[in-house]
Amino acid sequence: MTNLVTGRFQGAGTASDPERTTFAAMQDGWVAQQRSRQLKASTIEGRLAVVRRFTEYSNQYPWQWTPTEFEAFVTSLAGARPTTIRGYQAALRIFLEYLTSSDYEWVSKCTEQFGSAPSQVVTEWNSYHHTTPYEGDPGRRPLTYDEVQRLFDAADGLVESIRGRGRKGAIAAQRDAIVLKVVYAFGLRRRELWGLDIADLHGNPKVPDYGNAGCLFVRWGKSSRGGPPKRRSVLLVPEMDWVIDPLKQWMEDLRPAFGPVGHPALFLSERAGRLSLRSINRAFNDARQEAGLPEELDLHSLRHSYVTHLIEFDYPERFVQDQVGHQYASTTAVYAGVSDDYRHRLLQRVLDRDRHRWEDQS
């Protein structure tokens, strides 16, 4: 059977190939509609890739799709994460909503040309629903205090190991160790760390001793539904003030060795450009391996750790929510994995409070 998608990448089709021409026009129209909604290019391309993948799997055009074919496609994704499956379903549902809308006349055009029309094949009855607050890898969890310390010790140890062998890269390893400490101390996402500029370091007038590390202005927060990146200010809390010295060392001693003074990025690569997302991931993975921590832990686990530890430090939930930029408190709750020790201390405080109240009344 002819592959229906391959031709789309080679051209838009010809008058003698109306099926391919129509499918190409559908994709172009859908892209234009999404662009008009100011969706990010990566979001649009990701959705389009799903449509092409389903078309290739079924070897059918959209006006030929059926619920049965869609269900077989989803079944073929066995082993994929629930969030991935739901993302595929959402992309196909949105594409078909566009095609079946009376605003674009694809139904009448296809009926006239091919004798069949697109219909919604993604329904409530064959879709994977979001039933639990958290569907990520259960192995990805907050690090304990000891594990955070082991991670940082391992990152610092890599610096000494490189120096001891007389190899290049000791300064880059120092940078990587500081990157991990900043991620944890401010509860940052990977892209938020990547997007930091020197100008995003600010002082906190309430705590002048923190210098320009008292407040971090995050400009690349996670966006909502294709909107622009969210912005927030993250205050340095006293329990994390140990990050001030590493940041000062980076700014005064290490950063000048990486590139021109005029570059805005806070963390630079060896090529004097902004440190890449891949390099940030690698910094964590190298330290995790050196520390002997579970492979399921990743850079985002440090953000989970930050949320958990702030709660264990008794910061109010709303403060923690604002610090990490969550729109809903339920999201912050999902990130938290407080220790048994914290719960025991919390219970003891309640018991002590009730005991004092009983003594006052008697």
pLDDT in tens, 312-329: 998 988 999 999 998 766
CATH code 1.10.150 region(s) in the chain = 6-114
Q: What percent of the chain has pLDDT above 70?
A: 82
Burial class (CB in 10 A: 0-12, 13-18, 19+), 183: buried
pLDDT tens figures, 198-251: 999 999 999 999 999 999 999 999 887 667 889 999 999 999 999 999 999 999
- Give DSSP secondary structure letters for 203-245: --TT-GGGGGGSEEEEEEEPPSTT-PPEEEEEEPPGGGGGGHH
CATH code 1.10.443.10 region(s) in the chain = 145-350
Rounded to an integer, the average pLDDT of 41-45 is 89
pLDDT at 352: 65
pLDDT tens figures, 335-348: 666 555 655 565 56
Kindly tell me if the per-residue pLDDT of 128 is higher than 90.
Answer: no
Q: Which of 53-62, 183-192, 327-336 has the lowest mean pLDDT?
A: 327-336
Q: Rounded CA gap, 158 and 87, in Å?
A: 39
* Closest residue by Cα to residue 323 from 226, 205, 199, 239: 239
* Closest residue by Cα to residue 96 from 49, 56, 63, 58: 63
pLDDT at 137: 58
Which CATH superfamily includes the segment(s) 145-350?
A: Intergrase catalytic core (1.10.443.10)
Q: Rounded CA gap, 115 and 327, in Å?
A: 47
User: Structure pTM?
Assistant: 0.69
- pLDDT band, residue 80 (cuts 50/70/90): confident
pLDDT at 5: 46
Rounded to an integer, the average pLDDT of 95-103 is 95
- CATH class entry, domain 6-114: mainly alpha
- pLDDT band, residue 7 (cuts 50/70/90): very low
pLDDT at 330: 61
Report DSSP state, residue 251: I
> CA distances (Å), 69 to each of 52, 66, 90, 165, 226, in order?
14, 5, 16, 59, 29
